Amino acid sequence: MSKPNLNADDDAIAAATRRWLEKAVIGLNLCPFAKSVYVKEQVRYVVSPARTPEALLEQLMDELQLLSDTPAEKIDTTLLIHPFVLDDFLDYNEFLDVADAAVEDMHLDGELQVASFHPDYQFADTDKNDIENFTNRAPYPILQLLREDSIERAVEAFPDAAEIFERNIETMEKLGHEGWDKLDVGPAR
């Protein structure tokens, strides 16, 4: 697998993330809720300089608080992009428990939640290169901070929300690895 350019500056890292969001997440309609907040410019992109999980946790908590304190009309979701820490997927996956505990410790459970994207994302009981893993593959490790109210509104507007995962697998199977590689949005096989 090709690794992203970690010598890129923050603007290039954010631009690669935007390209992934536009071409994969929105372009393939992997998340039918993403387009609305993207078009309204309610997505906050934060490139973390963190080099340790502890530094990332501190920044995560700052971003959770900022999102909680900011009206949804200004920031509906935050993409905390962390290219310099947790590049190993197993370490990243373990950190998700820490992220969820931070939400709870800050008394933000029921208000905010954390979604996960990683260049080597792998669902349980799949092989590393199974195409369904690519629904959550991004050019860099990302913690997405989401408002639960926004998720509830989106689910109300999209009554078949439970079917999104299955539809995404079908989309990825039709696209295949070659189609994913042609999107040029992140890690190749």
33 vs 1, 21, 26, 132, 154, CA distance in Å? 29, 12, 9, 19, 6
pLDDT tens per residue, range 12-60: 999 999 999 999 999 998 988 898 899 999 999 999 999 999 999 999 9
Residue 7 contacts residue 16 (beta carbons within 8 Å): no
How much is the pTM? 0.91
pLDDT tens per residue, range 89-121: 999 999 999 999 999 999 999 999 999 999 999
Domain boundaries, the chain: 10-182
Residue that has been written with the tokens 């200004």 in this structure: 74
Count of CB atoms situated within 10 Å of the CB of 166: 11
| Strand order across the beta sheet in which 77-81 lies | 43-47, 77-81, 142-147, 112-117
